């Protein structure tokens, strides 16, 4: 029996991000832009046959890409926490909430059983779960979507990590619960001094909850800057298109049609040469085709990957 290996795909290429202690960074982009793949690479969780083939992933100067799987297991949970997109596919339905929160602690600390229980109750109380002692015996299916997400946050924050990655943490939650979950993440970040990487396609969510934003497209960061600057004065045509498609954006009258970016994010096998956005871009010229533009600092704290913007066009 023989197997034929297919072509190698690059889901993320040349992404460079930095987050300081206590800072918050939003990673924005459409589905398929590489946001989740970036987070999984940081955690060493890219499923095989996927792998990180080059680059550096550093936590306080420690190179994570060079660590063994055993060493990375020590980092995950203890120094980097992750809130996944869908609690019901992440929480184990056959174990109680208390068991799963306790597991996050005992994986990294040797604690007496009584102290584990005390800490679990404190964690559930910290994330705003009512009657936390009785909730320890509940199963995920017995909780609402908002409470399940709070359990996920309690697990992610159990060991007081230095970095918390939240991947679409408010998916499938109503607006009121979304606001509560984001307020909880802000409070934990401020109290614990954690850095927060918020992955989302929801521009409004990022605008209200992070200090800086990086916009991804087809595996590349195309623009980065302070949230207020990027939302009030976007530089890259893709960022402009995203913001113009938001309800209430400038130029959209009440009841009028929203702006639509033509086409879709290309499959990794079909990313065009040069600027990956050029086939959807109204500003594209021949200069966009020969090679991928560099991510250049246009002004202090503002970087953009666009030859037209770099040239002042």
> Is pLDDT at 311 greater than 90 in this prediction?
no
DSSP label of 127: T
- Give the Cα separation of 201 and 221 in Å (integer): 14
- 2-54 pLDDT per residue, tens: 344 556 778 888 789 999 999 999 999 988 899 999 999 999 998 888 888 88
Q: What is the DSSP letter of 76?
A: B
Rounded mean pLDDT of the chain? 90
Select the more confidently predicted residue: 50 or 122.
Answer: 122
Q: For residue 234, which of 28, 38, 19 has the smallest C-alpha distance?
A: 28
Alpha-carbon dihedral angle through residues 127, 133, 136, 138, given to the nearest 10 degrees: -100
pLDDT the model gives residue 68: 92
Q: pTM of the entire structure? A: 0.91
CA distance 44 to 38: 10
Q: Both ends of the chain: CA-CA distance in Å?
A: 57
Residue-wise pLDDT for 165-218, tens only, equals 999 998 878 889 899 999 999 999 999 999 999 999 999 999 999 999 999 999
195 secondary structure, DSSP code: E
Residue 98 has pLDDT above 90, yes or no: yes
Which domains does the chain show, CATH number per domain? 24-210 (3.40.50.300), 231-313 (no CATH)
């Amino acid at each position: 029996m023989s197997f034929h290996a297919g072509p190698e795909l690059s889901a993320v290429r040349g992404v460079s991000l930095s987050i300081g202690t206590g800072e918050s960074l939003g990673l924005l982009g459409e589905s398929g832009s590489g946001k989740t793949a970036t987070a999984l690479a940081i955690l060493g969780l890219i499923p095989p046959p996927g792998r990180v083939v080059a680059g550096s992933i550093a936590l306080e100067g420690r190179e994570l890409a060079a660590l063994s799987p055993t060493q990375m297991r020590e980092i995950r949970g203890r120094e980097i926490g992750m809130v996944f997109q869908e609690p019901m596919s992440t929480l184990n339905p056959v174990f109680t909430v208390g068991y799963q929160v306790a597991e996050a602690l005992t994986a990294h600390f040797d604690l007496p059983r009584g102290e584990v229980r005390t800490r679990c109750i404190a964690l559930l109380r910290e994330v705003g779960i009512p009657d936390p002692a009785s909730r320890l015996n509940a199963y995920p299916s017995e909780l609402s979507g908002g409470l399940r997400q709070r359990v996920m946050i309690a697990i992610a924050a159990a060991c007081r990590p230095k970095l918390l990655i939240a991947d679409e943490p408010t998916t499938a939650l109503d607006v009121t619960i979304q606001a509560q979950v984001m307020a909880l993440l802000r409070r934990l970040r401020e109290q614990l001094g954690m850095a927060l990487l918020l992955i989302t396609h929801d521009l409004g969510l990022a605008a209200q909850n992070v200090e800086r934003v990086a916009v991804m497209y087809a595996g590349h960061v195309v623009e980065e800057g302070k949230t207020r600057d990027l939302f009030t004065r976007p530089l890259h045509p893709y960022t402009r298109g995203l913001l113009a498609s938001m309800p209430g954006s400038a130029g959209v009258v009440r009841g009028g049609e929203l702006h639509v970016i033509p086409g879709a994010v290309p499959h990794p096998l079909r990313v065009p040469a040069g600027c990956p956005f050029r086939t959807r871009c109204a500003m594209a010229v021949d200069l966009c085709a020969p090679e991928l533009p560099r991510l250049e600092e246009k002004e202090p704290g503002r970087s953009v990957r666009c030859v037209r913007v770099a040239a002042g066009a």
